[in-house]
Chains A and B, each alone.
Chain A
Amino acid sequence: MTYLERESFSEYDQSLALVYDKKYTQYMQGTTHPERPERLVYSLDMMREESLIGDVIQKVTPESASLDSIQQVHTNRYLQRLYRQSRKGSGSISADTKITDQTWTAARLAAGGAIRAAELAWEQQYDSAYAFTRPPGHHALPDRAHGFCFLNNTAIATKAIRQETDCSRVAIWDIDAHHCDGTQRVFYEDSDVLVTSIHEEDATKFLNIGGTEYTGEGEGRGRTVNIPLPPQAGDDAYQAAVEQIAQPISESFSPDILLLEIGFDAHFGDALSQMHLTANGYGDLVRKAQNFANTHCDGRLGLILSGGYDFTAGLPYSNLATLNALLGGPEDFVTEPNQPPTQVTGENHITRAREAQAHHWSL
């Protein structure tokens, strides 16, 4: 036992693999772009300052996703475009998403990180695994992308884990403030992948397919669950959305593994949404995912980082609360410098979302 281990809290009885590569902090779309290295840098500083990295949390280095695994999700035409523009060193695939000479390498490494986290969660060498990666991926569609994303990390990891292992059914909970339009599109007709998104209503239009009426098609009918919440929705609203919709539907779906795509941009300090989640609110949601995975997936839980742009406050403290929950720490353990503003409960929104799913699930 080393000294550092003795500095951790006795409550921490869970093991955690943090899938991370230093290159995640070196890639940038532009020095003032919101999706920038500091998103991870200050959170890593927090982990060091709280003596979490080292013996409490094990770092695991990922490999880049293979071309074959990426092709399971994205079209060749799109991949060629991304590759060529990145080789050229400049370009963009949407107004907010720039391509640089690092894009192709960085995006493949992020996808590889998500695959590794899913593999680790499946293998259960650790109690949970967390892909602490960037760039994010849930706005990447098979043939195009936007919203700071290039390759759909979670979708690629989902396909990979189903191909590599006995895993056949995957539940994805996406709690980024923005709707996971890319992930939804990939699995819209897939009966074995349940995609649940809790997001801010009309936060961004993007494809505008995050409404409750989008529930899947063909064999995928009922496998898409959208829970749009109103601006200023906070901890109680998110808890209710999980307890009343995500959890019971997932239970009926009976997945082999739960992947939680966690975006910290629903934190009250984040400028890219109007949601009012607190750091401990994130911790509670992670605890719910953990409890669900323990009860219904033999403890198989993988986390994949999505958005979160308040890199000096919202992101590091929310990330800390997430780690605290994953390690088995107490509730409400994390304090943060700023006080949360008033939150709305979003009861009507949750009712509407439940009603939309009533055709497919008994709630």
Chain B
Amino acid sequence: MILYLEIEFGRVVGALIENDEVTDYATLSDINTADDLAEVLSQFSANDRSDVDQVQAAIGKLATQDQRGELPSCTAILAPGYGLPVETETIANHTKSIDGGLTPQGQVTQPPPTEINTDTENAVVSAKFGHKNPDYEMDIGAEIAASSIRFGHKVSGEMGFRERTKTAVANVRLSQLYHSIKDQLKQAVSSADIEAPLYAIRSDGTLANLDTIDETPAMLLSGVVAARAFGANSRVERDGAVLTMTPDTTYIVPPFIQGIPLEQGYFAGDLRSGYTSIQTVSVPIGYDTPVSQLISANIDSSKDLQSVLRPGDFNDEDSTLASGQIDNKEKVRTELIAELRSSVKELSQSASTVDTLIAGDPYIASVINELADSFGAHGIVPDTVTTVGAFSCSNSEIQITVRLQIDTARNIISVNTNGEIYSEQMDLSKKLNRLDVEDFVKEYVTNSLQKHQQPIASVDIIESRVVTLVEDDTQIGELHTIIAEGTAKPETGMK
């Protein structure tokens, strides 16, 4: 039995799922502590709790805090180097650029300054081509007094500089919140006598062991939306656009194509993340949006609406869609449908014909038919819509992307995965051909990730490239870069 948890800001949904059916569920609002979370779990019987052999959590609170502008700030120390200029003001709350940088080969053109004055709690160090020479960023980091530092090169070897840097910023700004949620979750699960592996649902709907994403919580930003979209699609067995509401935002997920979602990065709030995420169109209306704002907005574009519905506009005395004390329900429905209609229309013009709209939560369920009718489309409310995300659980896989560099001149293998980098010295004197390398990588990834508690079952090579290393007109070795993707079914059973 799988326990599915949706941890939102002030609201938690828990559902037990077995053989693709939800056997029990519980919801709780005004929730903030581990004890509150434990209270949700306590609503399940002791027998059911003891049958749980896997926990999958979608943590929506991360995106909500981002959209409310309540995350801690961050200073980015950038070595933008050469090439195209970098618009530093778009990177982080505060930025400092240092002279010099790295070449496309990772060579240092000018050593970084030995004194970098920063007075910050959260910092990011990122250099253009930083992934070609990790020591460069680490040396800069050694000069910075910050309690939490993230490095661009650890994010990914495949994203571009700006994208990598912004993702590192997202990781460091989410770090404290993620750790507190993780601790609360572990504590609540333990106090509910559930002994099972804990997984987080990532933005692309795949799973990650909760302890392996300490450095990369930005991978979880769209986890709730992904779970609900996968769950809704699986439940209705028909491809359609899924609409689902979170506290501050309604997401429209374009129709899956033969069961596969379109993908992008995350850019719904202030944060930006290049980690793969389910594609969405976002409308800045959620179930915590003050009704007074919604019905007085009278604004044509969602961009303008976003400027009206900033977190500062919140007023505790205002009713919200979730508060159940709405005086002018018809007016609210009309405004809500009008806003959603314009976004769905935009989607159907730009992406594909949208002939089916699927509700991904109870709030949207109340307006989906009216909304669909206005397009001549078909509206569907999945059964047990409150826990629709739970239906994503049965088919979820752990997926991990690994970037390896095999340097046969220096006999070093470097592995970058989930924000962790490690290197190993190994005798690579034998010349490797492409097939040798791919076999070697598959075996190496499987073995090394098992050592890191990732039970990988299969490894696919996504990309493989090689350059010749030449010194004084003599070939001294090869540099292989391989991107491999490992997948596995999550572990079940006692920890």
Contacts and interface: CB of A to CB of B under 8 A. Distances in A.
A355 to B, nearest CB: 40
A42 B474 contact: no
Say whether chain B's binding surface is mostly helix, strand, loop, or mixed: loop
Contact of B267 (A6, A313, A324, A334): A6
Nearest to B264: A2
Given A4-B163, A316-B104, A49 B129 contact: yes
A136 interface: no
Nearest to B476: A31
Given A37-B467, A38-B467, A45 B163 contact: no
Contacts of A52: 160
- B85, B158, B160 — most chain A CB neighbours (10 Å): B160
Contacts of B161: 49-51
A49 B153 CA distance: 12
A4 B465 contact: no
Interface string B339-358: 00000000000000000000
A3 B104 contact: no
B273 to A, nearest CB: 8
Interface string A1-38: 01110110100000000000010010010011000111
Given A32-B475, A51-B160, A45 B84 contact: no
B347 to A, nearest CB: 11
B158 to A, nearest CB: 7
Interface in B254-306: 264-267, 272-274, 279
Contacts of A48: 158, 160
A3 B265 contact: yes
B426 interface: no
Contacts of A51: 159-163
Contacts of B159: 51
A31 B468 contact: yes
Interface residues of A, number: 35
B237 interface: no
Given A3-B264, A36-B468, A312-B105, A50 B473 contact: no
Contacts of A317: 82-83
B49 interface: no
Contacts of A45: 104, 129, 132
B61 interface: no
B73 interface: no
A38 B104 CA distance: 11
Nearest to B263: A2
B109 interface: yes
B360 to A, nearest CB: 21
A46 interface: yes
Contact of B279 (A2, A50, A320, A336): A2
A335 B83 contact: yes
Interface of B: 81-85, 101, 103-105, 107, 109, 128-129, 132, 158-163, 264-267, 272-274, 279, 465, 467-468, 470, 473-475
16 contacts: A28-B468, A31-B470, A32-B473, A32-B474, A42-B105, A46-B104, A49-B128, A49-B161, A50-B84, A51-B161, A312-B107, A313-B103, A313-B104, A317-B82, A317-B83, A335-B82
